[in-house]
Amino acid sequence: MNSQNSIILNKFSNFIRNNRSTLRQSLVALFICAIGDLCAGIILGNMTYFLNAFPGLLILIPGAIGMRGNIFGSFASRLSTNLHIGVLDPEFKRSKVLFTNLKSSFVLTMVLSVFLAIFAKIMCLIFHLRSIDLMDFILISVFAGIISNLIMLPITMCISFKSYKGGWDPDNVTTPLVAAFGDLFTLPAIIVSLFILKGLGVGYFKDLVFGILILLIIIMFVYEVSRNQSIKRILLESTPTLLLCSFLGIYAGTVLDSCESTLLTNPTILTLVPLLSGESGNLVSILGARLSSSLHSGLIEPEFKLTNTTLVNLLIILSLAVIVYPFIAVISDLSSFIIGTQTFGLIPLILISVFAGLTLIPIMMIIVFGICILSYKHGLDPDNIVIPISTSITDAFSNTLLIAYSLLIIAIFV
């Protein structure tokens, strides 16, 4: 028995030693992301006025946050792959590859913002939930998308290029950092959009602005698809995937909205929502980016078998998860205590975070691996498919598990 334990300890020590750089880089990125997600959580925990004034807004928020992570995470993943295979230089200079990715990400954000709003309204109608009208949903979503684009596109490029030039693997840092910035800026962008919406008032001017925005988005999409084959491939591959992801994001919002009273009476749990969803999505994105780069580089074959490289990647994610989930519960509780919000209790919060996270991650590792292999075998670029689908499924599952474990822990501890 002792010799068996000794063998396991030696293997674990070798694993840590061989992957120390990857674990260190990923942990740094995840801890930075946790701070961004915490800020988003604090903002969400203090948005009760807006959630009451604009019914249905809570349904839109997870989808909007997820969409930013999906679009700009895929943008970062494509930049990372292009940097790895040498078709893109890590410089802020005019480049066909870079310009193609920039334009496709901008157009995707605009198109998906419209559909996100439509899905939100449909869910409100299906489940008989109070909500603002469809035009307001679309205007909020599109204005927030424009603001996020102006902020996130340069941030994504900066993180990708600087990490690569600094000797860090972009697969380990760019996607989680980009997702964290997306989480951080999405909620302020939505709040700014609400003020813009109020400024438009009610009447013909608001209708005119709405009509012009919809027309411009249609023209942009049709023009880019018909003019540039590279952009056409990204848009046609990404749009169906991101539509599915948007629906999953709205489902996640519907889960939260259905338990709005529980969340509003326990603001610490509301603060934990972006943290759990964001860090889970970041872990899944790291795995997706690493597997995608390994497929493109020929390190793993597109086969459903656990090679040593694949197994190491899965163990890296599990190791990170064991550290991350207790950490986000601690900082969520600490932030609630500092700002004077009613706290739920550290031990119950850790139990909710750890149980939800460690239930979720093994399931998502199987899903990510399957999506990577299937997309590559069918001639699709995993960079356009894996991160959007996997993070959206993660958002839906994480919110469902968060609510389920929260209700369970509340029943036990309260």
Please write the tens of the pLDDT for every residue from 185-197.
Answer: 888 999 999 999 9
Residue 381 identity: D
- The mean pLDDT of 39-48, rounded to a whole number, is 78
Distance CA 245, CA 158 (A): 26
Is 70 exceeded by the pLDDT of residue 260? no
Stretch among 155-159, 161-165, 336-340 having the lowest mean pLDDT: 336-340
Distance CA 237, CA 239 (A): 6
Distance CA 196, CA 374 (A): 43
- What lies within 8 Å, CB to CB, of 150 at 6+ separation is none
Dihedral (CA of 270, 272, 273, 275) sign:
positive
Question: Which pTM does this prediction carry?
Answer: 0.75
pLDDT tier, 3 (very low <50, low <70, confident <90, very high otherwise)? low
End-to-end Cα spacing for the chain: 42
384 vs 144: which has the higher pLDDT: 144
94 vs 414: which has the higher pLDDT: 94
187 vs 136: which has the higher pLDDT: 136
Is 80 exceeded by the pLDDT of residue 31? yes
- The mean pLDDT of 15-40, rounded to a whole number, is 82
Q: Which two tokens stand for residue 399?
A: 């919110």
Q: For all residues of the chain together, what is the average pLDDT?
A: 84
| Of 255, 257, 249, 302, nearest in space to 65 by CA | 249
Q: What is the pLDDT of residue 412?
A: 84
Give tens-digit pLDDT for 342-358: 667 889 899 999 999 99
Is 60 exceeded by the pLDDT of residue 1? no
308-to-24, 300, 366, 393 alpha-carbon distances in Å: 21, 9, 16, 26
Q: What is the pLDDT of residue 264?
A: 64
Stretch among 242-251, 279-288, 345-354, 360-369 having the lowest mean pLDDT: 242-251
Is 60 exceeded by the pLDDT of residue 280? yes
- The mean pLDDT of 325-331, rounded to a whole number, is 93
pLDDT tier, 144 (very low <50, low <70, confident <90, very high otherwise)? very high
Length in residues, the chain? 414
- The mean pLDDT of 150-168, rounded to a whole number, is 84
Q: Which two tokens stand for residue 241?
A: 């995937």
Q: What is the pLDDT of residue 4?
A: 66
Q: What is the pLDDT of residue 2?
A: 59
Q: What is the pLDDT of residue 15?
A: 80
pLDDT tier, 252 (very low <50, low <70, confident <90, very high otherwise)? confident
Give tens-digit pLDDT for 100-118: 888 888 998 999 999 999 9
- The mean pLDDT of 3-9, rounded to a whole number, is 66
Q: What is the pLDDT of residue 350?
A: 92
| Of 122, 143, 119, 120, nearest in space to 210 by CA | 143
- The mean pLDDT of 72-84, rounded to a whole number, is 78
- The mean pLDDT of 79-108, rounded to a whole number, is 80
